[in-house]
Every structure is written in C-alpha cells, then in structure tokens.
Amino acid sequence: MTGTREEELSANVKAARERIQAACVAAGRPEGSVTLIGITKTFPISDVRALAALGVRDLGENREQELKVKAPDCQDVTWHFVGQLQSNKARSVVRNASVVHSVDRSSLVTALSRAAVDEGRVLRCLLQVSLAEYGREEVATGMSRGGVAPADVPALAAEVAAADGLELGGVMAVAPLGSDPDEAFAGLEAVASRLRSEHPGADWISAGMSGDLEAAIRRGATHVRLGRALLGTRTPLG
Ligand SMILES: *Cc1c(COP(=O)(O)O)cnc(C)c1O
C-alpha cells in the first residue's frame, strides 16, 4: 500500500531539510543560514497548499501564467518568480510575487519599477547572472539559463538600486549543463561579493537546485530553489 501525497511530500520536505542542514554543517556554516524555496511549477495547487502546510514558507514559479493562478490561492507564503520574464508580464508578476530572481536587462528594470510604483509595492530584485563561461556547451532546456554577463552586473545593479519601487536583493544563477557546479558557483560567489561591496544590502545568493544544492551551499548560497527534490518528477507542460 502506498501512502498519501501529503505523506510523500512530508517525507520529501524532511529529507530536503536534512540535506540542506548537512551541507551547512559540512561547509562550516550556521544552521538556518539557507532558505529553502519550493519551486512548484507544473504541480497542482493542492501540492502548493500541502507544502505551505508543511512549513515551506517560500514558494516559486517560473511562468507568469502559473504564478497568477497559484499565488492568489495561497497568500500566506512569500512568492518568488524565477523564470524568464517578458516586460509586458511585469505587472502581473509584481502583483503576485514579492521577489523576482531573474532581472537580466534594463528594459525589465524599467517595467518592474513602473509596475511596483503603480501597485504601491516594493519588489525585491535579484540579478540573474550568466555562468555560461563555465559550461561546455549551450544546450536549450526548459530552464532559464540566461542572465546578465558578470562584467555587466555593476551597471545593472546601479539601475535597480536607483529605481523607485525596487530593492536590490543580490544575485541568482543556474549552473550550466556540463559545468562543474563548484566552479560555476565559485564564480557567482565572486560576483556576489563584488556586488555586496557596493550595495551592502544585496546579500542574497540564490543558487542550487535539486541536483546541486550541496555545491551551492559550499559557495555561499543563501537561498536554494528545489522542485523535484520536494515534488518528484515533472511532466512537461504542453
Ligand atoms: C525548475 C527550476 C528550479 C528547480 O529545479 P529542480 O531541479 O526541480 O530542483 C530552480 N530554479 C529555476 C530557475 C527553475 O526553473
């Protein structure tokens, strides 16, 4: 006999928290220095509610269409947007998320700022940094592996810091396929530390997914984004 979905998710959350804990200990970092963000893309609202009930207080989506359906239905958590974002979807994302991890260009800063001001909100923005230089090949996947080149981070950071309605929160990245995640995340850590020297409040490093969270925590991640480790295998959306 198999257990219920709630039991399965409960066991997954427990195992994921133990992995994060063990990685913190191994890295000599304090317990609780890493926040778990559950990435619920493609999974139903019942799973979203179940994760929230299990104490996962931060949840994320990578498509505006899914975020705008799920976030209003589960308002007692902090919603994160982690996907590629078209400027014409900025307003919807500002209404439904408190943090955007994927700010990668000037035109998006402008759109998010305008929407945040209109909505009377303050949006925390992370700059998505491209770690393509650590990958061996460009492979198209459903996951956004774009981002701003490390050399262009200071200029984009200055724009976010100066924009009304936005708060510069730090950096986010996805390790490229074929990369050594330790090397890639070490590169991100260097970018983050340079950013922090100019913007002390921009102290988040959003890095690490189900397959590479240990490497990310070794390299200073403050937020890990876990989908499959919590929810299981995804069925691709059509
Ligand atoms: C899907 C996704 C994740 C979660 O990936 P898993 O491998 O399922 O843990 C994290 N970050 C982004 C940007 C994603 O799109």
Examine residue 27 and state whether it is found in any structural domain, yes or no. Answer: yes
Examine residue 103 and state whether it is found in any structural domain, yes or no. Answer: yes
Of 58, 82, 235, the residue with max ligand 1 atoms within 8 A of its CB, to mutate for a pocket test, comes to 82
CATH number of domain containing 123: 3.20.20.10
Q: Domain containing 92: what range?
A: 3-231
Tokens at residue 76, please? 């007692």
Residue with CA closest to ligand 1 atom 15: 143
Examine residue 171 and state whether it is found in any structural domain, yes or no. Answer: yes
pLDDT for res 238: 57
pLDDT for res 139: 52
Indicate whether residue 216 lines ligand 1 (CB < 6 A). Answer: no
The bridge status of strand 99-103 relative to strand 35-39 is unpaired
Examine residue 184 and state whether it is found in any structural domain, yes or no. Answer: yes
Indicate whether residue 78 lines ligand 1 (CB < 6 A). Answer: no
Examine residue 68 and state whether it is found in any structural domain, yes or no. Answer: yes
Examine residue 237 and state whether it is found in any structural domain, yes or no. Answer: no
User: What are the per-10-residue average pLDDT scores of the chain (238 residues)?
Assistant: 88 98 98 96 97 98 98 97 97 98 98 98 98 76 73 98 98 94 98 98 98 98 98 83
**Could you give the number of structural domains in the chain?**
1
pLDDT for res 140: 53
Examine residue 236 and state whether it is found in any structural domain, yes or no. Answer: no
Determine the Cα–Cα distance for residues 31 and 24; give it in Å rounded to an integer. Answer: 6
